[in-house]
A and B are shown apart, each in its own frame.
Chain A
Amino acid sequence: MWFSWSPVAWCCLVSSPEAARLSAEDISPSSNGPKAEPVLLDDDPDDPDDLFAGLTSCESIELSKCYQEQDIYSYTVCVCVCVYITFLSILINFYVCVCMYMCIYIYIYIYIYIYAFIYLYVFFHIYLFVCFLFIYTLFYIIYLFIKIDHSFLCICAHMSILIVINFFVFLGDGMNAYMVYKVLTKTSLSIFSRDEVCVKRRFSDFLGLHSKLASKYMHMGYIVPPAPEKSIVGMTKVKVGKEDLSSVEFVEKRRSALERYLLRTVKHPALLKDPDVLQFLESSELPRAVSTQALSGAGILRMVNKAADAVNKMTIKMNESDAWFEEKQQQFDNLDVQLRKLHASVESLVCHRRELSVNTASFAKSAAMLGNSEDHTALSRALSQLAEVEEKIDQLHQDQACADFYLISELLGDYVRLITAVKGVFDQRMKTWAKCQDAQVMLQRKREAEAKLQHANKPDKLQQAKDEIREWEGKVQQGERDFEQISKNIRREVGRFEKDRVKDFRVVIIKYLESLVHTQQQLIKYWEAFLPEAKAIA
């Protein structure tokens, strides 16, 4: 029966490489079109109780032509192989069945036992054959399903969720105006009530979601992705002068930051199942998150808490028993410093490239004027051509600067903020430990008080003291359990964070280098077009 199993194995082998394929995409932030960022969930054998461990985030904004061709080619191959194997197995099965039946017919009168055995064998064989047919049909249906919707990169049984932030409108007027973002969620996960939901959200709604998640999960040791920062200056500029370039850029920056924030949030397995997140993505009406305003009561309370935390951090001296935590904390401190430096360098690169583009444009204009005033006709023409080439190059530099920014600079900014969140989680652990220590101290004190009361012989107060001791023993136990839990959670979260970080960086660097290649190739094209013009100067 070995030949019946091989088709299944072959099919799995063919389809698994598809899971890891990424495509080079062309980011143009000037277009307000949908930017699809499907998040795919894998079954990771490493962590069996974590259903959504080992997530891959793939970005495909506009599938490049060559990817589509490759795609169709491999899918066709896959289907052909499946069909071929199906027919082959049908034929072989049929042949075997016929043989078997002939044998049965011949030996039915001679060996009744063999007849029974053969009958069972044939039956089992047919059953297997029907199963495989069913599986093949299933594969084919899934393949068709995916072929129709190009946003998904993998075939086989993968579930996915896709979030796109699109379309924003300005509501209200004057200084009370606010931006409304349309959040579109496309998913096949069962926890969502519908396949496709579209809701309208304000920036303060996002901040509200983050604060809710932080209050629920931070103290358990989960790394909650930080929300994009408020920017009063940027928003005011947009409200006042809606048309100019810097406000368009600001809005685009914020839109993509919010998109990345949501994707990161749903990538986290625990946060994905959280009812607040589901409500955020699905329900059409959301209670206005007033507590996120800077000058509200909750805002001021937050600031006071932050100050208190900072003071506490300095006073708590934790007795670190676990070397892993100490090492990781040191590592994250270093990483923070280095990432900030890298981010600063990348920002300066973006700035300088923008400058280069501006200067190239002004040089192009100047060269055009020079060409106009030149009286040697061939040279004049060549100079005008040079001006045109420089103009095209200026546009190229601008696009490259945008790529620099959106690919790398924003990602680094996100990671700098994420590391702050990670450090916050470590601080939570310290706070839990401190609470545990306090509870132990209290327990000790209660025990001493009880001992004293025993000597003083006051029966009613003794009972109260014993009750208190029991209560505090319970608290100490709870504290220790909490500490264990948070340490375990942190270990898992940090592991997940590191994996994600490595994956993200790898993907982004390759994409960035590809964008650089594209720019250089365009440069070659432009200069090669100019060369004959330069040679034509007589």
Chain B
Amino acid sequence: CMQLLVHSVSVDLNNDASLVIDIPDALCERDKVKFTVHTKTTLSSFQKPEYSVQRQHEDFIWLHDTIVETEEYAGLIIPPAPPKPDFEGPREKMHKLGEGESSMTKEEYAKMKQELEAEYLAVFKKTVQVHEVFLQRLSSHPMFRKDRNFQIFLEYDQDLTVRRKNAKEMFGGFFKNMVKSADEVLISGVKEVDEFFEQEKNFLLDYSSKIKDATAKAEKMTRSHKNVADDYNHISGALNNIAADNNTAFKKHLEKCAEVFEKLRKVEDRMASDQELKLTELLRYYTRDIQAAKDLLYRRARALADYENSNKALDKARLKGKDVAQAEENQKQCLQKFDKLSESGKKELTSFKARRVVAFRKNLIEMTELEIKHAKNSVSLLQGSIEVLKSN
């Protein structure tokens, strides 16, 4: 496949120089993508100041899962796991290209190959960025950066050889998910004492469905935009074909037109991909993040339910007169856990909102500026070509 050298995209998560992570390059082999994770640190807990290790997507998933399963982090919003690299689109195109090779001219084939490579590159860049952001969020959080597993992930220079989940574990995971969603429904009926959390719960439930919908629609929109750009490419090819046959001054005219469409296609493509990167990716990421926030609320609600259960158990024990101390101990623990979760949850959710607003602002501004820039480019390109064509 290909190798890619990317520069770190989101700088604001790397503000703290004590632990700086980035993914400088990635290699694509068949179906697997190997990321090179580069760490620079001044923390004492690390043995060396600089590391560079090769990690696969499964390793990231393993890291995420272990953090989720850690009891200590129950009160924190755990950064969502990066999605699996999805090369389905380019792969489909490559297939179509292979099939249609005989029916296309050389130029058409070369053009389609170009298109394909551009799309491949875009997907590649996206997946690298998403993985990088995941690590950077972990490193910028005061609690996660101290996590032992995280450190192993960054340090261990051999292959982590994370055992892929076998069938039983996958099924178990699936079952657990089902139980969890059933649980969520039950727990959402639990009465909330805290005003703040009640508001947050309602807001998050509503928002998550809306943002999922918006993500889907944005994806469709950018997809159609890319189709339009591809059509310009085909038109340009067809015009070139017609020009090849004409041997008059008209030929130059047609060739100029074909060139215009070619350039127009590039601009439209950039517009579509920038819109995708800034808007669609933003929405996608926050869909996952909102899900993580909802998980936090779920954990807290679970703790509340546990606390109420322990209360009921204590009352029952007091009635019966046995195991009272145990029940009391249980109740105190539950209460402690619940309080801890509530406190850290509140902090997390507030900072989450601030973070979300900042990210939306940054991305919306960047997207708007890029769209304006591309539109201006295309206006100047078109006007220049109109001048040339009129003078012919």
Binding site for B on A (CB under 8 A): 331, 334-335, 338-339, 341-342, 345-346, 348-349, 352-353, 355-356, 359-360, 362-363, 365-367, 369-370, 373-376, 378-379, 382-383, 386, 502, 505-506, 509-510, 513-514, 516-517, 520-521, 523-524, 527-528, 530-531, 534-535, 537-538
Chain B nearest CB from A323 CB (Å) reads 15
User: Contact check: which of B227, B364, B385 meets A355 at CB < 8 Å?
Assistant: B227
Number of inter-chain CB pairs below 8 Å: 152
Chain B min CB distance to A264 (Å): 20
Flag B354-392 by CB within 8 Å of A: 1 or 0 each: 001100110011001101100110110011011001101
Contacts of B369 in A (CB 8 A): 531
Minimum CB–CB distance from B112 to chain A (whole Å) comes to: 13
Q: Is there contact, CB below 8 Å, between B364 and A342?
A: no
Interface of A is mostly: helix
On whether the beta carbons of B227 and A342 are closer than 8 Å, the reply is no
Given contacts A342-B238, A360-B221, 13 further A-B contacts (CB under 8 A): A335-B245, A345-B235, A345-B238, A346-B235, A352-B231, A359-B221, A362-B217, A376-B357, A379-B356, A505-B250, A516-B264, A521-B379, A537-B357
Complex interface: chain B residues within 8 A of A534 (CB) = 361, 364-365, 368
B340 at the interface (CB under 8 A from A): no
Report yes or no: A338 in contact with B220, Cβ–Cβ below 8 A.
Answer: no
Cβ contacts under 8 Å, A513 to chain B: 260, 382, 385-386, 389
In the bound complex, do residue A363 and residue B217 qualify as a contact, i.e. CB atoms below 8 Å apart? yes
A-B contacts, 11 of them at CB < 8 A, read: A356-B228, A363-B217, A363-B218, A363-B221, A370-B213, A379-B361, A510-B390, A513-B382, A520-B375, A524-B376, A535-B365
| Distance of A359 Cα from B225 Cα, bound (Å) | 10
Query: Quick check: is B96 within 8 A (CB to CB) of the other chain?
Result: no
Contacts of A352 in B (CB 8 A): 224, 227-228, 231
Give the shortest distance, in Å, between A339 (CB) and chain B (any CB): 7
A376 to B203, CA, bound (A): 11
Return chain B residues, CB-CB under 8 Å to A528.
Answer: 372
Instruction: Assess A510 versus B224: contact at CB under 8 Å? Given A342-B242, A537-B364.
Output: no
Among listed B10-18, B32-40, B162-170, B204-212, interface-contacting one: B204-212
Q: A339-B242, A345-B235, A513-B389 are in contact. Are A527 and B361 (CB under 8 A)?
A: no
In the bound complex, do residue B207 and residue A341 qualify as a contact, i.e. CB atoms below 8 Å apart?
no
Which residue of A has the minimal Cβ distance to B218?
A363
Given A513-B389, A521-B379, A366:B214 Cβ within 8 A? yes
The answer for the CA separation of A513 and B381 in the assembled complex, in Å, is 10
Q: Contact check: which of A356, A509, A520 meets B221 at CB < 8 Å?
A: A356
Q: Contacts of B199 on A, CB cut-off 8 Å?
A: 375
A514–B217 CA distance with the chains assembled, in angstroms = 30
Q: Which residue of B lies closest to A401 (CB)?
A: B228
Q: How far is the CA of A524 from the CA of B245 in the complex (A)?
A: 38
**CB-nearest residue of chain A to B365:** A534
Contacting residues, chain A, for B217 (C-beta < 8 A)? 359, 362-363, 365-366
Q: How far does the alpha carbon of A339 sit from the alpha carbon of B241 in the complex, in Å?
A: 9
A43 to B238, alpha carbons, bound, how many Å? Answer: 35
B60 within 8 A of A: no
A523 touches B210 (CB 8 A): no
**Chain B neighbourhood of A509, CB < 8 A:** 253, 257, 389
Q: Does B239 contact A (CB under 8 A)?
A: yes
Cβ-based interface call for B120 (8 A)? no
- In the complex, the answer to whether B372 meets A524 with C-beta atoms within 8 Å is yes
From B210, B234, B371, B383, A370 is in contact (CB under 8 Å) with B210
B211 nearest CB neighbor, chain A only: A370
Whether B191 sits at the interface, judged by CB under 8 Å, is no
Which residues of B are found within 8 Å of A523, using beta-carbon distances? 371, 375
Q: Which residues of A contact B368 (CB under 8 A)?
A: 527, 530-531, 534
Q: Which residues of A contact B223 (CB under 8 A)?
A: 359
Residue of B nearest to A22 (CB): B390
B9 to chain A, nearest CB (A): 20
Q: How far is the CB of A379 from chain B (nearest CB, A)?
A: 5
Q: Closest A residue to B376 by CB, please name it.
A: A524
Does B153 reach chain A (CB closer than 8 Å)?
Answer: no
CB distance from A499 to the nearest CB of B (A): 10
Name A510's contact: one of B206, B207, B389 (CB within 8 Å). B389
Whole-angstrom distance from the CB of A348 to the nearest CB of chain B?
Answer: 5
Would A374 and B207 count as touching, CB distance under 8 A?
Answer: yes
**Residue among B207, B245, B375, B378 with most chain A CB within 10 A:** B375
In angstroms, how far is the closest chain A Cβ from the Cβ of B101? Answer: 17
